[in-house]
Amino acid sequence: MTSSFFAFLHRMRFIKRWGLMRNTETENIQEHSLEVAFVAHNLACIKNEYFGGTVDVNKVAVMAMYHEVSEIFTGDMPTPIKYFDPKLRSLYGEVETLAQEKMLSTLPAELQATYKPMIVDAEESDEWSLVKAADTISAFMKCVHEKNAGNDEFNEAYSSILQKLKDLHMPEVDKFLELYIPALSQSLDTLNYYDMTSK
């Protein structure tokens, strides 16, 4: 018996984000998921090394890898629409759960118990707050890149998402912003020069 799991994962690259906004560079949910995994893993490392946490950093990274798989079936619903009305958000949450269960069902039965905590039950885990924070940081990084490209379309999103990150009151998030965000505005030549002179 064959499985369609990876055939569906392959289609993540066709689903675009930020559909209501003018973009200088398109972003799909596959590349977004990888970035969120990078960020979530780093947040977990920061939490452990700077703030005495005991987080399983690899579990956080894998959860982040799969955090958007429901959108293979639902597409990316823009945030202004998703949160326009509590009833709509609740209904969309139900659809997301059904899509997650559908994705899980595409795996061989022998593997489903291994993937279920990462695909269907992730939001119930203690580590989920780090994944959600990483998701928000990824959106903020997108705003930084768009603003650097001269796209004023992202000005309001930049301000509102930055405030959302501050309102989390998560020290690992604040540390991430301090460590990594300033370099996002630098050119490749500047980054290379900085690396050489800082050694």
What CA–CA distance (Å, rounded) separates 51 from 59?
A: 19
Q: What integer pLDDT is reported at residue 174 of this predicted model?
A: 98
SS (H, E, C) the chain: CCCCHHHHHHHHHHCECCCCCCCCCCCEHHHHHHHHHHHHHHHHHHHHHHHCCCCCHHHHHHHHHCCCCCHHHHCCCCHHHHCCCHHHHHHHHHHHHHHHHHHHHCCCHHHHHHHHHHHCCHHHCCCHHHHHHHHHHHHHHHHHHHHHCCCHHHHHHHHHHHHHHHHCCCHHHHHHHHHHHHHHHCCHHHHHHHHHHCC
Which residue is listed with tokens 């596959």?
Answer: 30
Q: What integer pLDDT is reported at residue 9 of this predicted model?
A: 97
Number of domains in the chain: 1
CATH number, residue 158: 1.10.3210.10
Among 91-105, 155-169, 184-198, name the most confident range: 155-169
**Which residue type does 19 have?**
G
Q: What integer pLDDT is reported at residue 68 of this predicted model?
A: 95
Q: What is the model's pTM? A: 0.90
Q: Evaluate whether 64 touches 40 at the Cβ level (below 8 Å).
A: yes
What CA–CA distance (Å, rounded) separates 62 from 127?
A: 11
Nearest CA to 77 out of 134, 34, 36, 18 is that of 18
pLDDT of 58-84, one tens digit each? 999 999 999 999 999 988 877 766 666
Mean pLDDT to the nearest integer, 47-66: 98
Q: Which of 83-87, 149-153, 166-170, 185-189 has the lowest mean pLDDT?
A: 83-87
Q: Which domain holds residue 74?
A: 5-197
pLDDT classification of 180: cutoffs 50, 70, 90:
very high
The values of phi and psi at residue 28, to 5°, are -105, 170
What CA–CA distance (Å, rounded) separates 52 from 47?
A: 6
Tokens of residue 103, six digits = 């994705």
